[in-house]
Homo-oligomer: A and B are copies of this chain.
Amino acid sequence: MAETGKSPIDFYLDFSSPYTYIAALMIEDIAARYERALTWHPFLLGVAMRMNEATAPIMQKLKQPYVERDIRRTARAFGLGFMSPPEFPFSPVNASRAFYVLERDQPELAVPFAKALFRTAYGEGKPIDTPEPVAAVAETVGYPAAKVLSGLKEQAIKDRLRQETDRALALGVCGAPFFLVDGEPFWGQDRLPQLERWLMTGGW
């Protein structure tokens, strides 16, 4: 990404969100077309939301079949495979912390690692909730698994993820995927067409 003087697109992501997997594969092309850098921010709003939202069981029961169908159909619409990891929903804590290990120690590997995590979880349907598979994915992009496993235990890394989550909440990030473009918020994979139109026109 060449320097263009334009501010980057901030991309708030949750590894446990299938819609974020689909959005992650689309936002890079959009950013490139409009010559914007893209800053990836893994955070834990999903966990906070699931812990706090006491949705009535009947509504969950009603929504779940639709949402499962919609995710698969939307993935197919973009030519993507979709498989659900064996445990779902799962905790994105280890995957998110590992992202910040790579981002600190070998920043050029962090985004390829995030994309490989999404592919593993939703392209191959494999778990990424515990340290070992997360470390194995890091190895595939050229970062040593052992360094992920030790990094996950560091207080500084735990603090970093907590700070990113606090910062996201303070910015009004209320779901995932969530994007900020020159201060304008866009929530959801299905808002990417609006986001692109915003980049094209400068807003309306």
Contact = CB atoms under 8 A, between A and B. Distances in A.
Interface stretch (A48-56, A139-147, A154-162): A48-56
Contacts of A76: 204
A89 B204 CA distance: 26
Interface stretch (A57-65, A102-110, A112-120): A57-65
A191 interface: yes
Report how many copies the assembly holds: 2
A188 interface: yes
A194 interface: yes
Contact of A62 (B169, B191, B194): B169
Nearest to A51: B56
B66 A187 contact: yes
28 contacts: A48-B59, A49-B59, A52-B56, A53-B53, A53-B54, A53-B55, A53-B59, A54-B54, A54-B56, A55-B55, A62-B173, A62-B174, A63-B175, A65-B172, A66-B172, A66-B174, A66-B175, A66-B187, A69-B185, A70-B191, A73-B194, A74-B194, A76-B204, A77-B197, A188-B190, A190-B190, A190-B191, A193-B193
A174 B59 contact: yes
Contacts of A53: 53-56, 59
A188 B187 CA distance: 14
A60 to B, nearest CB: 10
| Chain A to chain B: the 8 pairs with minimum beta-carbon distance, closest first | A52-B56, A190-B190, A62-B174, A63-B174, A54-B54, A66-B174, A53-B55, A76-B204
Interface of A: 48-49, 52-56, 58-59, 62-63, 65-66, 69-70, 73-74, 76-77, 169, 172-175, 185, 187-188, 190-191, 193-194, 197, 204
Contacts of A59: 48-49, 52-53, 174
A56 B73 CA distance: 30
Contacts of A169: 62
